Chains A and B, each alone.
Chain A
Amino acid sequence: MSSATTDIETFRQEARAWIKANLEPRPKASATGRPEREASTPEDIAKARVLQRKLFDAGWAGLSYPAEYGGRGLTALHERVWREEALDYYAPDFGVAGSVTFGAIGRSLVAHCTPEFCQEHIPKILAGEELWCQFYSEPEAGSDLAGIRTRAVQDGERWIISGSKIWSSGAYLADWAMCLARTDWSVPKHRGLTWFAVPTNAKGVEIRQIRQINGNAEFCEEFLDEVEVTEADVIGEVNKGWAVTQTMLVYERGAGEMGASMVEPRELAPDLVALARKVGRADDPAARQAIAKAHINDYAQYHLGHRIADRLRAQATPDPAVAAYGKLASGVLAPIRARLGMEVGGPAALAWAAGDEDGGRPALNYLNGRVTSIAAGTNEMQRNGIGERVLGLPREPSFDTNKPFNEVLSGARNWNSKVG
């Protein structure tokens, strides 16, 4: 047995013992390990902060974050072992804001910020004191993230930010935002971008929740009206924001494992089996095919996630186009998975008794089925990334890559399909 294996086994024993002594068991997790309901109220967040603090104080927060910033400096394998051990216990649940904070944002900050910045923010993030959100997309720039129009203007040691952002998950619960702004309009689009840390309670920040098709309001839109931040709030380098974006996208795309369950799914699509039994279709060949398809999808997504995560770890600089495989898999399979639920449920999935949450779940999953095919870059963006950067296929002719951004906008209005 190698020392690495011994180390992992010791770690597992320690984690198991601590979890058993300190966390509250929860009803057996669904086979996918996903929570039934996501944290969405300030009370949920307050509860999660207390629990996160407990983990942080005992050294179980930020396992793969650098030790100098309050993490443990361990590997992704340790993270996985922890997740496996904690699966049947209540862990801090910050909802989407949590995966955003500890994933794309935390990782990007560590990779690109100064030691002073990290010293200031990372320990607070790991302790549950700072919850972050993303001011990335705008009403007129989503998949085309480098096309954003929020502007930041330097004024001495201050930066003044104005514009509007949208699709910020959990922003109404967050303390800070990672905000992308254009700082130079006279250069091509990728070369005039800068990232800023913006406190969500700063003067001039207005956050509104958006009601979604599922009735929830977890998404937000923001209006930034001459919001002041300082030089110390710059993330990475001025006008070199696209380099930060490359890191951010790897994690935004789930580092290969988006949408995959935490443990190898071995139980045949338990949600659909229960549904088929409930509606009396467990012997119906069509329903059985649908159930097996769903399970095969779950199993494939789990193992693809591991494969892509391994590939990313083997790269000196993880390539967002490789992470795109996991994102695309999720974006393609999740809508199929949701449709299979509707197929198995039949009429019972179309109408159910008032207040019957269980009965309404296939429909809710169906409405949420296209989240990963659109959010964080559409399937089409992932296909471009894989096609161009992994397979090496040539790009489409571009209308904006080499032009100063201020000319791009006026040019687009007079677009006549002629390149150049």
Chain B
Amino acid sequence: MDTDVTEDQRALLDVSERFMGQTCPLTVVRDADQRNGDFLASYRRQAAELGWFSMLVPEDLGGGNISGNGVLDAALIAYKRGGLLQPGSYIGTNVVACAVAAAGSDELRKEVLGAMVGGETSASWAVASAGSNGEPDGGVTAEVTADGGLVLNGAKTAVQDVEASSWLLVTCRTSVGPAQALVSAGAAGVTVTELESLDISRRFAEVRFDDVAVAPSAVVGQPGASGDLIDRQLALAAVLTAAESVGAMDHELDMTVEYAKDRIAFGRPIGSFQAVKHVLADMSLAVEMAKAVVGAAARSLGDDDGYGVEAASIAKALVGESSIELAQNCFQVFGGIGYTWEHDQHLYLRRLTTDAGLFGDAAWHRERLCQLAGI
């Protein structure tokens, strides 16, 4: 994705790509039965050995990255993951680990962070809610108790890859403003219901909270003063999701270009027709542009150069739109064969369309850009 990848980054990407190709090729991706809890746990531990969950955690808390810009490193991995439609809570675990490292209590840092970095448990960000398009604190309200704890009520939806042992970072609304809590998926009052979903390469759940008591030590950030923390989490999730999308776009375009060279009609490969060729050239430009923007946003956010949050929204809005366009156009080039279950095209269509809507869709991030600019 990036034009100047360092040698260390290259080595990490190569070994990560080998791991994905061996452990979870597309034949496994499309088979939900194979991707059961045991599989995901083993996948997660192996990924952790490669350093997938340490990049956004400072060294003194047991983390570390290879280039000095953990967001960029994580985005490069995300790009590779997206190409092979990898499952598992990669973005969720990284976002939650980053938040806990930045604003979690000492107890959380000690008890939970190491397990996330080491791949013993995964984490998901419970952020989306029915009826709120992108607002992170929708769906769940919380009462602040006298000792500084929270009591959660409400529901979040489209929570990604929740496992029985997962930690959930719940962003909610209190009378003093947004707040966040780290809750176990198995805690009393938490109900996780598996959903059916457009994307069949991952799992999504609705999570209900009925009077879920949160100890003060499990509150992440100060209720009512967590705005910056949530902004940064959202920016991180947006950049990493966009990076996974770019990987998927790149891979799908490659598949489609190959098909356009192989498929013969009217005595010629269909890719020789300008009607097809020009669409593919436009999609190739879309991929180049997405790579340029997501790379720039990852650098900006990781370097803390003062424009990272805006750049993340730019990247999410741009990719959210062009990824769906690409998936639709590639489908059109495949024609009827792309409508069959056996073909991989629909896996990419499903993934790209889903990623475009998670963590705020294109229109939501465009409005956000206006708000960030004070307009």
- A255-280 vs B, CB cutoff 8 Å, 1 = contact: the mask equals 00000000010111000010010000
User: A391's contact among B269, B284, B295, B317, by CB below 8 Å, is which?
Assistant: B284
Task: Tell which of B19-27, B152-160, B207-215, B363-371 binds the partner.
Answer: B363-371
Task: Tell which of B58-66, B217-225, B271-279 binds the partner.
Answer: B271-279
Q: Residue A332 at the B interface, CB < 8 A?
A: yes
In A123-142, the 8 Å CB interface with B consists of: none
Q: Residue A308 at the B interface, CB < 8 A?
A: yes
Q: Residue B261 at the A interface, CB < 8 A?
A: yes
Q: Residue A358 at the B interface, CB < 8 A?
A: no
Taking a contact as CB atoms under 8 Å apart, the answer to whether A384 and B274 are in contact is yes
With A266-B310, A328-B285, A391-B257: A292-B366 Cβ-Cβ less than 8 Å: yes
User: A393's contact among B260, B293, B373, by CB below 8 Å, is which?
Assistant: B260
Taking a contact as CB atoms under 8 Å apart, the answer to whether B268 and A394 are in contact is yes
Q: Residue B318 at the A interface, CB < 8 A?
A: yes
Taking a contact as CB atoms under 8 Å apart, the answer to whether A291 and B271 are in contact is no
Q: Residue A94 at the B interface, CB < 8 A?
A: no
Interfacial chain A residues near B31, Cβ < 8 Å? none
Taking a contact as CB atoms under 8 Å apart, the answer to whether B268 and A380 are in contact is no
Taking a contact as CB atoms under 8 Å apart, the answer to whether B375 and A396 are in contact is no
Taking a contact as CB atoms under 8 Å apart, the answer to whether B363 and A393 are in contact is no
User: B285's contact among A264, A296, A325, by CB below 8 Å, is which?
Assistant: A325
With A292-B369, A392-B261, A394-B268: A380-B278 Cβ-Cβ less than 8 Å: yes
Taking a contact as CB atoms under 8 Å apart, the answer to whether A391 and B280 are in contact is yes
A289 to B375, CA, bound (A): 12
Q: Residue B282 at the A interface, CB < 8 A?
A: yes
With A328-B281, A329-B285, A394-B268: A303-B296 Cβ-Cβ less than 8 Å: yes
Q: Residue B238 at the A interface, CB < 8 A?
A: no
User: A396's contact among B273, B311, B373, by CB below 8 Å, is which?
Assistant: B273
Interfacial chain B residues near A296, Cβ < 8 Å? 314, 317-318, 366, 369
CB distance from B276 to the nearest CB of A (A): 8
Taking a contact as CB atoms under 8 Å apart, the answer to whether B281 and A387 are in contact is yes
Q: Residue B106 at the A interface, CB < 8 A?
A: no
A380 to B365, CA, bound (A): 31
Q: Residue B80 at the A interface, CB < 8 A?
A: no
In B232-281, the 8 Å CB interface with A consists of: 257, 260-261, 268-269, 271-274, 276-278, 280-281
A80 to B177, CA, bound (A): 45
- A273-302 vs B, CB cutoff 8 Å, 1 = contact: the mask equals 100100000100100110111011001100
User: B295's contact among A292, A293, A303, A395, by CB below 8 Å, is which?
Assistant: A303
Taking a contact as CB atoms under 8 Å apart, the answer to whether A386 and B285 are in contact is yes
Taking a contact as CB atoms under 8 Å apart, the answer to whether B277 and A384 are in contact is yes
Interfacial chain A residues near B257, Cβ < 8 Å? 391-393
Q: Residue B3 at the A interface, CB < 8 A?
A: yes
CB-based nearest B residue for A331 = B285
- B290-310 vs A, CB cutoff 8 Å, 1 = contact: the mask equals 011101100000000001001
CB distance from B177 to the nearest CB of A (A): 24
Taking a contact as CB atoms under 8 Å apart, the answer to whether A288 and B370 are in contact is yes
Q: Residue A311 at the B interface, CB < 8 A?
A: yes
CB distance from B271 to the nearest CB of A (A): 4
Most buried by A among B277, B310, B317: B277
Q: Residue B289 at the A interface, CB < 8 A?
A: yes
Taking a contact as CB atoms under 8 Å apart, the answer to whether B4 and A292 are in contact is no
- A295-339 vs B, CB cutoff 8 Å, 1 = contact: the mask equals 110011001101110110010000000000100110010000000
Q: Residue A382 at the B interface, CB < 8 A?
A: yes
CB-based nearest B residue for A387 = B277
Taking a contact as CB atoms under 8 Å apart, the answer to whether B370 and A304 are in contact is no
A303 to B314, CA, bound (A): 12
Q: Residue B49 at the A interface, CB < 8 A?
A: no
Interfacial chain A residues near B14, Cβ < 8 Å? none
Which bucket holds chain A's interface residue count?
Answer: 35 or more
With A293-B366, A303-B292: A393-B272 Cβ-Cβ less than 8 Å: yes
Interfacial chain B residues near A393, Cβ < 8 Å? 257, 260-261, 269, 271-272, 276-277, 280
A295 to B260, CA, bound (A): 34
Taking a contact as CB atoms under 8 Å apart, the answer to whether B295 and A268 are in contact is no
Interfacial chain B residues near A267, Cβ < 8 Å? 373
CB distance from B280 to the nearest CB of A (A): 6
Q: Residue B288 at the A interface, CB < 8 A?
A: yes
Taking a contact as CB atoms under 8 Å apart, the answer to whether A288 and B366 are in contact is yes
Taking a contact as CB atoms under 8 Å apart, the answer to whether A299 and B271 are in contact is no
CB distance from B135 to the nearest CB of A (A): 16
Interfacial chain B residues near A325, Cβ < 8 Å? 284-285, 288
CB-based nearest B residue for A395 = B272
CB-based nearest A residue for B1 = A307
In B1-18, the 8 Å CB interface with A consists of: 3-4
Q: Residue A383 at the B interface, CB < 8 A?
A: yes
Q: Residue A388 at the B interface, CB < 8 A?
A: yes
Taking a contact as CB atoms under 8 Å apart, the answer to whether B314 and A299 are in contact is yes
With A393-B272, A394-B261: A329-B281 Cβ-Cβ less than 8 Å: no
Taking a contact as CB atoms under 8 Å apart, the answer to whether A394 and B366 are in contact is no
CB-based nearest A residue for B278 = A383
CB distance from B218 to the nearest CB of A (A): 37
Interfacial chain A residues near B273, Cβ < 8 Å? 396
Q: Residue A390 at the B interface, CB < 8 A?
A: yes
Most buried by B among A295, A380, A393: A393
CB distance from B5 to the nearest CB of A (A): 12
A47 to B116, CA, bound (A): 65
**Chain A positions near chain B (C-beta within 8 angstroms):** 264, 266-268, 273, 276, 282, 285, 288-289, 291-293, 295-296, 299-300, 303-304, 306-308, 310-311, 314, 325, 328-329, 332, 380, 382-384, 386-388, 390-397
Using A276-B375, A288-B370 as known contacts, list a sample of 4 further A-B pairs with CB atoms less than 8 Å apart, ordered by residue number in A.
A295-B314, A300-B314, A310-B3, A386-B281
Q: Give the 5 A-B CB pairs with smallest separation, nearest first.
A: A292-B366, A393-B271, A387-B277, A383-B281, A303-B292
15 contacting pairs across A/B (C-beta < 8 A): A289-B367, A292-B366, A299-B293, A299-B314, A303-B295, A325-B285, A328-B281, A384-B277, A384-B278, A386-B284, A387-B278, A388-B277, A393-B269, A395-B272, A397-B272
